[in-house]
Amino acid sequence: MENWSENHNDFIDYERDEKNKKIHILIIYDISENKTRTKLVKFLLGYGYRVQKSAFEAIVTKSQLKKIIKNISNYLDEENDSIRIYRMYYDDVIIFGKNFSIEDEEIIII
């Protein structure tokens, strides 16, 4: 697997984020093992909110995003699992049904 933290700085440093220094991301996953999936959920709860069964949204700093990218492979069996991180702009999201509001707030990781 390629090293995302070194090879995808353009993903982290995209110019549209320079105004507010925060990046809105969507992380979706398909993890086959229950134990691994539970660990991934606990990890992601330190950064954002679970908006669907296999989806998290978060508003993070560049350093937090780098940390997520660096550590996310610890929760992945490359043969069977999939994790995707999408950059989003909240004003570009259309929501149908139950709305889970994401706020820009400080989250303390313990």
**C-beta of residue 107 within 8 angstroms of C-beta of residue 46:** yes
Amino acid (one-letter) located at 9: N
Question: Sign (positive/negative) of CA torsion 84, 59, 40, 3?
Answer: positive
The CATH number of the structural domain formed by 4-92 is 3.30.70.240
pLDDT digit string, tens, across residues 60-108: 998 999 999 999 999 999 999 999 999 887 566 666 776 665 555 554 4
- Residue by residue, DSSP assigns 63-76 as HHHHHHHHHGGGG-
Closest CA to 59 of 101, 105, 9, 2: 105
pTM for the full model? 0.71
pLDDT band for position 18 (cuts 50, 70, 90): low
* Domain edges within the chain: 4-92
* Mean per-residue pLDDT of the chain: 79
